Amino acid sequence: MRQQSTLPSSPSSHSLACWLFLKILAVIYFIAFVSFGHQILGLIGSHGLLPIADYLRDAHNALGTAAYRDLPCIFWLDSSDAMLQAVAVAGAVFAISLFFNTARRITLVLLFILYLSLSSAGQTFMSFQWDALLLETGFLAIFLTAERWRVWLLWWLLFRLIFLSGSVKLLSHDPTWRSFTALDYHYWTQPLPTPIAWYMAQLPGWFQAMSVGFVFVVELGAPFLIFAGRRLRRVAAAAIASLQILILITGNYTFFNWLTLALCVLLIDDALWQRVLSARFAEHARRLFPVKAPSGIQRDITIALVIFVGTVSGAQLLETFLGVRPWPLSTIQNLIAPFQVVNTYGLFASMTTSRPEIIIEGSNDGSQWREYSFRYKPGDVKRSPPWVAPYQPRLDWQMWFAALGNYQQNPWFVSLMRHLLAGTPQVLALLQTDPFPGAPPRLIRAQLYDYHFTNFSERHTSGAWWRRTPVGMYFPAVSLSNR
């Protein structure tokens, strides 16, 4: 029989929650570094789509020494391919070190520095809200103790993340959110749906409208329970976690949902966690995160952190809801923005109501065209939507954004076409198949299609998950001689 822990059940006790949170954070850091490291040469390597060496050189030429502040990264010292890979490997190693609580604070500092370097160097491929969320979470984790106000800072982060995600849906004046029809479109227009999304898209309109109502209740109501009593805080954790799990099983949003769930862990006090985890874990957690009165220095650090985060995030909230950026807070925001330690959030502010997809084709004669297949984004209509999270195929994601605009707005897309014409191995490795394995094609082009999930009868008849109709040319046929 498992021995029960004797940890105090006081609402202020969060030793187990802190211990468990850092375990999950370590796993997420590991996934983030390995995921980007697997793609890094094709994305920002010397033969990648947006070489980091060129990016830093251009930034320095344009900004001078200010570039070091605006793009904080260790790649100013060395931007070689070996250095890029070394940072990704080092990040994964430090994440393992954090999991086993080896030199915890130093490891957290190093993880933050390395991931900030990748985020600064990654350009458009590292511009997602979950990258900023990981950096802000990692920054606050450096100072994490079981002391209530240190935990409160991460509660405040979760509050802003969820409440702003609900608020921007209304502030954007998006008609689908206001008419409760957003989920009629979401499952098939999101970047990388899962197979379950196909089934969810078949559900009737009344169910989709009720689901939108659930989203609003959770995102606009549950965050306020975070700062209520312990029982209501548990309700908030359950509600937010439920929504995250539903998003997780219907869409591939990399490590975002897992990171949000990790923040929910901190809403549960030790009185409940000790019923789930063994006494051995509980005692270990209490040693690592003792419940004791903070020293004078610790109190000073806590006060400084609360004032800093509260002031900057408060200014961000003023800008979001009132459209004002009071001076000198705007100056402070501009100075710290590159470090991503306090960020603003707001997911799914506007719902896309169609799904344009870019299909890249190559040819040697201008008559017969072969299609390039990506690893995860829709292409072959009979291929099932994939399960890929928490891994993030960042090129596949950017293809979704590119399809919503044009190639002139996406310089990396022009680079992609050039590298496919050249047959660059690092870039081809980002794709599922190379239809020209012997030598690259003489011509390349990109066409735009409109994609939509099939229904039950269509799938039964054809076996297709998607149906597509041509829209037009996205990128004209070119060769290396004219591009």
Q: In whole angstroms, what separates CA 204 from the centre of its chain?
A: 30
Q: What's the whole-number mean pLDDT along residues 337-360?
A: 95
Quote the pLDDT of residue 229.
87
The percentage of residues in the chain with a pLDDT greater than 70, rounded to a whole number, is 97
Asked if residue 10 has pLDDT above 80, the reply is: no
Q: What's the whole-number mean pLDDT along residues 392-416?
A: 97
Quote the pLDDT of residue 11.
46
Residue 352 DSSP class:
-
pLDDT (tens digit per residue) in 170-201: 999 999 999 999 999 999 999 999 999 999 99
Quote the pLDDT of residue 482.
60
Please spell the DSSP secondary structure of 264-332, one letter per residue.
HHTTS-HHHHHHHS-HHHHHHHHHHS---PPPHHHHHHHHHHHHHHHHHHHHHHHHHHH----TTHHHH
Is 467 inside any structural domain?
yes
Q: Which of 339, 374, 399 is the last residue of a domain?
A: 339
251 and 364 share a domain? Answer: no
310 and 281 share a domain? Answer: yes
Please spell the DSSP secondary structure of 8-54, one letter per residue.
---TT--HHHHHHHHHHHHHHHHHHHHHHHHHHHHHHSTTSSS-HHH
210 and 171 share a domain? Answer: yes
335 and 373 share a domain? Answer: no
Is 348 inside any structural domain?
no
Give the three-class secondary structure for 58.
Answer: helix
Is 1 inside any structural domain?
no
177 and 251 share a domain? Answer: yes
Give the model's confidence band at 2: pLDDT under 50 very low, under 70 low, under 90 confident, else very high. very low
The percentage of residues in the chain with a pLDDT greater than 90, rounded to a whole number, is 87
Is 8 inside any structural domain?
no
Tokens of 96: 């393992």
Quote the pLDDT of residue 280.
79
Quote the pLDDT of residue 119.
98
Give the three-class secondary structure for 346.
Answer: coil
Residue whose C-alpha is closest to residue 252's, from 200, 196, 168:
196
Q: In whole angstroms, what separates CA 66 from the centre of its chain?
A: 27
233 and 138 share a domain? Answer: yes
Is 7 inside any structural domain?
no
pLDDT (tens digit per residue) in 215-240: 999 999 999 999 998 899 999 999 99
Give the model's confidence band at 8: pLDDT under 50 very low, under 70 low, under 90 confident, else very high. very low
170 and 278 share a domain? Answer: yes
How much is the mean pLDDT over the chain? 94
Q: Where are the beta strands (DSSP E) in 294-440?
A: 356-363, 370-371, 373-374, 431-433
For residues 409 and 332, give the distance between their C-alpha atoms in angstroms, rounded to a whole number.
Answer: 30
Give the model's confidence band at 271: pLDDT under 50 very low, under 70 low, under 90 confident, else very high. confident
For residues 482 and 477, give the distance between their C-alpha atoms in angstroms, rounded to a whole number.
Answer: 10
288 and 399 share a domain? Answer: no
For residues 318 and 155, give the distance between their C-alpha atoms in angstroms, rounded to a whole number.
Answer: 19
Residue whose C-alpha is closest to residue 355's, from 152, 151, 187:
187
Asked if residue 450 has pLDDT above 60, the reply is: yes
Q: Which of 286, 307, 339 is the last residue of a domain?
A: 339
Is 94 inside any structural domain?
yes
Q: What's the whole-number mean pLDDT along residues 233-254?
A: 97
Is 137 inside any structural domain?
yes
Tokens of 328: 């000198």
- Amino acid, single-letter form, for residue 80: S
254 and 143 share a domain? Answer: yes
List of long-range contacts for 233-239, beta carbons under 8 Å, 24+ apart: 233/267, 233/268, 233/269, 234/267, 234/268, 234/272, 236/267, 237/264, 237/265, 237/267, 237/268
Q: What's the whole-number mean pLDDT along residues 42-54?
A: 98
323 and 371 share a domain? Answer: no
Q: What's the whole-number mean pLDDT along residues 398-417?
A: 97
Q: Which of 339, 373, 391 is the last residue of a domain?
A: 339
Domains contained in the chain, number: 2
Is 405 inside any structural domain?
yes
For residues 110 and 132, give the distance between their C-alpha atoms in angstroms, rounded to a whole number.
Answer: 16
Q: What's the whole-number mean pLDDT along residues 339-344?
A: 96
Give the structural domain span for 204. Answer: 15-339
Name, of 279-288, 319-328, 472-481, the range with top average pLDDT: 472-481
330 and 440 share a domain? Answer: no
- Amino acid, single-letter form, for residue 108: L
pLDDT (tens digit per residue) in 102-127: 999 999 999 999 999 999 999 999 99
Quote the pLDDT of residue 7.
41
For residues 38 and 58, give the distance between their C-alpha atoms in angstroms, rounded to a whole number.
Answer: 26
Neighbours of 319 (CB within 10 A): 16
Q: What's the whole-number mean pLDDT along residues 258-280?
A: 90
Asked if residue 483 has pLDDT above 90, the reply is: no
Residue whose C-alpha is closest to residue 111's, from 42, 14, 22, 15:
22
Asked if residue 374 has pLDDT above 60, the reply is: yes
Quote the pLDDT of residue 1.
38
Asked if residue 446 has pLDDT above 70, the reply is: yes
- Amino acid, single-letter form, for residue 448: L
Lowest mean pLDDT among 1-5, 240-244, 291-295, 378-382: 1-5
Please spell the DSSP secondary structure of 76-138, one letter per residue.
GT--SHHHHHHHHHHHHHHHHHHHTTSSHHHHHHHHHHHHHHHHHHSGGGG--HHHHHHHHHH
135 and 166 share a domain? Answer: yes
Up-side HSE of residue 477: CA atoms within 13 Å toward CB? Answer: 13
Asked if residue 18 has pLDDT above 90, the reply is: yes
Q: What's the whole-number mean pLDDT along residues 427-436?
A: 96
